[in-house]
A and B are shown apart, each in its own frame.
Chain A
Amino acid sequence: MSIRVRIPTPLRGLTGGAAEVQVDGASVAEAISQLEARYPGIAQRLKDENGELRRFVNLYVNGEDVRFLQGLDTHLKAGDEVSIVPAVAGGA
């Protein structure tokens, strides 16, 4: 089950600079676990201490915000694309 995960700039330090990685996983939660196994530290940028998706990071599956789907339990199938889009605060 190959899932494409697009990594935003602020997180690429954890993926050795990779902008897109492939993982397996039947759900978003599983995909994040796989990401963590390969790139330690990435999970805690995406999930808080309670294991919930951090509220200022948006995850999209094929362009749909997982918060409008089943959150971390959102199912994934082969060829799906997950985008990680963190909030941007700057502007000055």
Chain B
Amino acid sequence: MSERYARQVQFPGVGPAGQAQLSTARVLLVGCGALGTVLANLLVRAGVGRLTIADRDYVEPSNLQRQVLFDDDDAARGRPKALAAAEKLRRVNPEVQVEPLVLDVNPANVAALVAEATLVLDGTDNFETRYLLNDACVQRGVPWVYAAAVGAHGATLAIVPSETPCLRCLYPDPPPPGTLPTCETDGVLAPAVGVVANLAAAEALKLLVGARDRLRRALVWLDVWTNAFEQLPLAAPRPDCPCCGQRQFVFLDAPTTSYALALCGRNTVQVVVPDRPRIALAELAARLTAVGPVRCDDDLLRLQVEGYEITVFPDARALIKGTTDLARARALYSRYIGA
């Protein structure tokens, strides 16, 4: 057994058998921000077989306070998070296959992504994606670990479909936008994120080495500033749960026409056009230089125009910074990138 995992193998809960199981694990991490970078770091060092990192966003300076895989250079270049993370992680542990996906997880692609995974980890920052992951994981029978953090508090829960409550057993309906704190409204402390992500990773390790009897089976809610720590044991899945009880996967079946959504507490709108052929960014850049300053590389194009900053990815997804108005964002998209 590789010397790399000696200390982990030495732990009786893992042992050589557990390590062998880890090496066959295919983990999907959705979101590679504060929670996701901590989760990715832990799982890659633990020696999973493959880690697929899906993140739609790019590194910014305000990330560096807590997003442990990114550095100053990544922020200066505005690198896509999935790519920057993968690069770091390959140097941490070349034995792990790290697969970065710069994309938006949505109803059109989530089922295929989850089908490839033995475990899904929540590094997202919004409930919309969490409900989607929950639907996909429950439908497929893949365990996933919910994790969330903002301000100085956070929560986490391991979800094993048909065995434990799912996300909708706990929260039947998505919270309306604007009802919960976001990192922009309430800030976020790195230690809070770190504790939550580490607790989530511990549950993940238990699932991956087959130690289901060790699962916490409780929602953890903690606050590192007020020193609160609640463990709320959860009963069995709810028979009337629309997702795991009645198997109505409404988030999975949502329409996949183009849509816009305002991002977690930021002055930015994301526009997604599913099923659009890949954009040749260099060609688009050439057209847009007439309009305003354009920066372009293989991963993204960035245009400054009308006081907005528009970032375009090869899959035609765009982040329009400087507005939270969805209609305005779509108009800008149409104007500069096309219908």
Contacts and interface: CB of A to CB of B under 8 A. Distances in A.
Given A85-B221, A90-B125, A91-B31, A9 B148 contact: no
Contact of B232 (A19, A58, A90): A58
A9 B235 CA distance: 25
A56 B179 CA distance: 10
B182 A55 contact: no
A67 B180 CA distance: 21
A83 to B, nearest CB: 6
Interface in B217-241: 219, 221, 223, 225-226, 228, 230, 232-235, 238
A6 B193 CA distance: 22
B180 A92 contact: no
B130 to A, nearest CB: 8
A9 B232 contact: no
A86 interface: yes
B146 to A, nearest CB: 9
A90 B175 contact: no
A64 B165 CA distance: 14
A56 B167 CA distance: 11
A58 to B, nearest CB: 7
Contacts of B172: 55
Contact of B181 (A65, A68, A83, A90): A90
Interface in A19-47: 19
B225 A9 contact: yes
Given A9-B226, A85-B219, A90 B188 contact: yes
Contact of B155 (A55, A64, A88): A88
Contact of B124 (A6, A63, A67, A91): A91
Interface of B: 31, 33-36, 57, 122-127, 147-155, 170-175, 179-183, 186, 188, 193, 219, 221, 223, 225-226, 228, 230, 232-235, 238, 264-265
6 contacts: A9-B228, A10-B180, A56-B179, A87-B180, A88-B153, A90-B148
Interface of A: 6, 8-10, 12, 19, 55-56, 58, 60, 63-65, 67-68, 83, 85-92
